[in-house]
């Protein structure tokens, strides 16, 4: 949707972000002299009563809660075309995903983030609301009295505990979702506790506990790798607390978030109490609200925000699992050396073509797929040496899938099992990240390409060499996207 001059009585300044279901705008409340964030339901979902109801429920859930660590809804309204919108707290310091991308966190900062997020979650639970999608992208930071405060946001998958006590629709982010939620079972507060423990693991170790590609994989996870490493040692007492939070059987987890936070603080001891003042510095490179709008030109756009600082090299491996692509299949590809004999394969719609080594035609899938959080089918193509090449180290394959997205994501899926995540190669319409040092000497390549104004192409490759990955990347073609 093009930038409107106003949304209700609010002067719009610029777009903050957008997803499959909504667009978020930075606006200014002229009456109260304050910046606000306005979330507007996407145009293509206006007539979908189920999506519309879920959007409105998010506002109602947030209004139930009075907590400095939960995003506040100030107002709600409806546009002339019938789309609802929510007016919310403006997170001027971005998200936890932003922080991981730029600097990472110290152990003390990590604990304070977990403590504040957990406090917000416990407040939701006390009001009878489950979040169901806790992840770094849904942890927001806001400056209050010169200090940065963490808030839980985006209750798009939120449910009342009364409803969640019955069977519900399977949803969530695979690397952070509780097994019982991935299985579609009845839920209670311990599902959010599991997600908080997974977030704790990420913040303390610098890598995700799991890199599940699908909710099916998240439904039966094995034990996570050790939390402590030589580069990032973690006390055994802390690891025991986090692992109990990640127990597959919810009966073996901590009984509630408050108990988990108390146990984690006690295990961290002086480290947990050693948060700096202020505990997280205000970052001028993150999203800025700008000056109040002129009364004469309330809809005039702001200057472009200050570009973010250079990403840390390890950030692609620790935070890449946060994006919208995280709910799809894992990937891979081929062997190196002299260029092998090749085969060219098309998907069933004729929209996708890829040229691969001839040995890969052992497992070919040309049918359409349904991307995460989508109800419609889109072109897809999978070619590999074995049917399970996605999960099998040493196997080779490539996956292509079209996504209904209007912008490139900030990250591609991460692969914490690999030793090196090379710096992203970014262009105006594509982003590529290559991972090396993977099990069995594999090289994994992830690429996202803007192939149309409202379509992305996701490519994943597993191979034995960088040269082979590059050949297959060059052999990807699309048709009919303009």
Domain annotation covers residue 59:
yes
pLDDT tens per residue across all 482 residues of the chain: 567 888 888 998 888 776 667 788 889 988 888 899 999 888 777 777 777 877 887 787 777 777 889 988 888 888 888 888 999 889 888 888 877 866 678 888 889 999 999 999 999 898 888 888 888 888 999 988 878 899 998 754 444 433 333 333 445 678 888 998 888 788 889 999 999 999 999 999 988 898 877 778 888 888 899 999 888 889 999 999 999 999 999 999 999 999 999 999 999 886 555 555 556 777 655 555 544 444 333 333 333 333 333 333 223 322 232 232 333 333 332 333 344 588 889 998 999 999 998 888 778 888 888 887 677 889 999 998 887 677 777 889 999 999 998 888 877 777 777 878 888 888 778 889 898 888 888 899 999 999 998 999 999 999 888 888 888 998 999 998 86
What does pTM read for this prediction?
0.59
Q: Does residue 84 sit in the same domain as residue 184?
A: no
Q: Does residue 115 sit in the same domain as residue 60?
A: no
Domain annotation covers residue 72:
yes
Return d(Cα 374, Cα 19) in angstroms, integer: 12
Domain boundary among 88, 121, 151: 88
Q: Does residue 256 sit in the same domain as residue 377?
A: no
Q: Does residue 68 sit in the same domain as residue 42?
A: yes
Q: Does residue 51 sit in the same domain as residue 122?
A: no
**Residue 260 is part of which domain span?**
96-268
Asked if residues 74 and 66 have their Cβ atoms less than 8 Å apart, the reply is no
Query: Is 39 labeled as ligand-binding?
Result: yes
Q: Does residue 105 sit in the same domain as residue 239?
A: yes
Q: Does residue 239 sit in the same domain as residue 350?
A: no
Domain annotation covers residue 309:
no
Domain annotation covers residue 312:
no
Look up the CATH number of the domain holding residue 380. 3.40.1000
Nearest C-alpha neighbor of 382 from the set 356, 408, 414: 356
Domain annotation covers residue 313:
no
Domain annotation covers residue 50:
yes
Q: Does residue 116 sit in the same domain as residue 261?
A: yes
Q: Does residue 368 sit in the same domain as residue 461?
A: yes
Give, as one character, the DSSP assignment of residue 118. H
Cβ within 8 Å of residue 91, ≥6 positions away: 37, 71, 140, 141, 142, 151, 153, 287
Domain annotation covers residue 450:
yes
Look up the CATH number of the domain holding residue 240. 1.10.510.10
Domain annotation covers residue 316:
no
Q: Does residue 100 sit in the same domain as residue 204?
A: yes
Domain boundary among 88, 110, 135: 88
Instruction: Look at the chain and report how many structural domains it folds into.
Output: 3
Q: Does residue 384 sit in the same domain as residue 454?
A: yes
Return d(Cα 99, Cα 203) in angstroms, integer: 11
Strands 443-452 and 455-463: antiparallel
Predicted pLDDT at 101: 67
Q: Does residue 115 sit in the same domain as residue 191?
A: yes
Domain boundary among 65, 88, 111: 88
3-state secondary structure 62-110: HHCCCCCCECCEEEEEECCCCCEEEEECCCCCCEHHHHHHHCCCCHHHH
Look up the CATH number of the domain holding residue 16. 3.30.200.20
Catalytically active residues, by annotation: 133
Q: How far is CA 192 from the centre of its chain?
A: 16
177-224 pLDDT, tens digit per residue, is 899 888 878 888 999 999 999 999 999 998 889 887 777 888 888 889
């Amino acid at each position: 949707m093009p930038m409107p001059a106003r949304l209700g009585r609010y002067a719009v300044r610029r777009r903050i972000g957008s997803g499959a279901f909504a667009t978020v705008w930075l606006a200014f409340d002229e009456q109260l002299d304050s910046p606000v964030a306005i979330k507007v339901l996407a145009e293509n979902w206006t007539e979908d009563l189920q999506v519309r109801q879920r959007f409105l429920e998010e506002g109602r859930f947030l209004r139930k809660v009075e907590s400095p660590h939960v995003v506040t809804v100030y107002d709600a309204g409806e546009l002339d075309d019938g789309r609802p919108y929510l007016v919310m707290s403006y997170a001027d310091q971005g998200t936890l995903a932003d922080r991981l991308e730029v600097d990472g966190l110290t152990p003390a900062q990590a604990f304070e983030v977990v403590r504040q997020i957990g406090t917000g979650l416990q407040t939701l639970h006390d009001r009878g609301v489950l979040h169901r999608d806790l992840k770094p992208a849904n942890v927001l930071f806001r400056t209050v009295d010169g200090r940065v405060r963490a808030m839980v946001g985006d209750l798009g998958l939120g449910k009342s505990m009364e409803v969640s006590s019955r069977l519900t629709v399977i949803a969530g982010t695979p690397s952070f979702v509780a097994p019982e939620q991935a299985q579609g079972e009845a839920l209670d507060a311990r599902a959010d506790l599991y997600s908080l423990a997974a977030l704790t693991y990420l913040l303390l170790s610098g890598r995700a506990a799991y890199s599940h590609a699908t909710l099916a994989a998240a439904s039966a996870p094995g034990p996570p790798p050790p939390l402590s490493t030589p580069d990032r040692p973690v006390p055994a007492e802390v690891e025991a607390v986090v692992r109990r939070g990640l127990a597959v059987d919810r009966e073996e987890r901590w009984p509630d978030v408050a108990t988990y936070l108390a146990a984690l603080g006690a295990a961290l001891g002086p480290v947990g109490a050693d948060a700096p003042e202020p505990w997280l510095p205000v970052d001028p490179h993150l999203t800025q609200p700008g000056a109040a709008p002129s009364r004469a030109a309330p809809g005039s756009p702001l200057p472009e925000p200050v570009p973010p600082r250079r990403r840390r090299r390890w950030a692609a491996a620790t935070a890449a699992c946060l994006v919208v692509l995280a709910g799809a299949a894992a990937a891979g590809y081929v062997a190196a050396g002299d260029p092998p004999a090749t085969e060219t394969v098309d998907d069933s719609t004729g929209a996708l073509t890829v040229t691969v080594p001839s040995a890969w035609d052992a497992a070919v899938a040309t049918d359409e797929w349904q991307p995460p959080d989508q109800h419609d089918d889109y072109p897809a193509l999978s070619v590999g040496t074995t049917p399970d090449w996605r999960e099998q180290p040493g196997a080779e394959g490539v996956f292509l899938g079209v996504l209904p997205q209007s912008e490139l994501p900030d990250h591609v899926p991460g692969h914490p099992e690999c030793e090196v995540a090379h710096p992203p190669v970014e262009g105006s319409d594509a982003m590529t990240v290559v991972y090396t040092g993977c099990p069995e000497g594999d090289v994994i390549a992830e690429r996202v390409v803007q192939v149309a104004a409202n379509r992305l192409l996701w490519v994943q490759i597993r191979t034995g060499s960088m040269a082979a990955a590059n050949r297959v990347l060059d052999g990807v073609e699309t048709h009919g996207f303009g």
